[in-house]
């Protein structure tokens, strides 16, 4: 029987030693992880731009004003012009990848229109850009203590406030992130 070592549908937590400004205190949902590499979305970086910016670019008038105020998230440094919607439930959207009971990632515009019309998923995050690692790169970074890996928890995507997600993710595996040293070392 083969053991599934995929990190897909897991959460990465940046260690305090992470100094790259793209990933400092990042919490990343891993969408895909296979021999060719890894793709993830940062889920704790609200941008200064609200969802209304996307509606304006698509020439959509939202049904309710609340949709305008939802923050866009910085999903990562790769293709920052590309949008991803992480949501539940699955729904019938084009270009969707069902990643688990509580997670679907959709890249098509039909879901943005539905969110504007108040017919989209109740639980949804809209991210711009993504993160990526080449073959074995993420595994090496985990071994180098750049990241902690924790099981997926739906509340990290949909309920915990953005600025509390880094500390909360650590607590789900018994780690108090703010108490970890930022010094790197091996015994």
39-58 tens-digit pLDDT: 999 999 999 989 998 999 99
Residue 2 has pLDDT above 50, yes or no: no
Residues with Cβ within 8 Å of 111's Cβ and at least 6 positions away in sequence, in order, are 85, 87, 91, 93, 96, 120, 121, 124
Q: Across all residues in the chain, what is the average pLDDT?
A: 89
pLDDT at 85 over 50: yes
Q: What contacts 3, CB < 8 A, 6 or more positions away?
A: none
In order, the DSSP letters of 102-163 are: TEEEE-SHHHHHHHHTT-S-SEEEEEEEEEEEETTHHHHHHHTTSEEEEE--HHHHHTS-GG
| Mean pLDDT across 160-176 | 95
Report pLDDT for 40.
Answer: 97
């Amino acid at each position: 029987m083969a053991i599934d070592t995929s990190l897909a549908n897991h959460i990465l937590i940046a260690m305090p030693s992470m100094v790259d400004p793209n990933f400092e205190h990042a919490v990343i949902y891993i969408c895909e992880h296979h021999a060719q590499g890894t793709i993830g979305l940062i889920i704790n970086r609200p941008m200064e731009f609200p969802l209304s910016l996307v509606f304006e670019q698509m020439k959509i008038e939202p049904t309710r004003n609340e949709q305008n105020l939802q923050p866009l998230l910085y999903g990562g440094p790769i293709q920052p012009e590309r949008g991803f919607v992480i949501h539940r439930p699955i729904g019938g959207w084009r270009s969707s990848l069902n990643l688990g009971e509580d997670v679907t990632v959709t890249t098509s515009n039909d879901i943005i229109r539905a969110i504007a019309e108040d017919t989209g998923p109740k639980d949804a995050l809209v991210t711009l850009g993504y993160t990526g690692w080449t073959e074995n790169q993420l595994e090496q970074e985990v071994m180098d203590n750049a990241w902690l890996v924790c099981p997926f928890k739906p509340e990290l995507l949909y309920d915990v406030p953005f600025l509390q997600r880094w500390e909360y993710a650590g607590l789900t595996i018994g780690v108090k992130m703010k108490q970890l040293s930022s010094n790197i070392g091996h015994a």
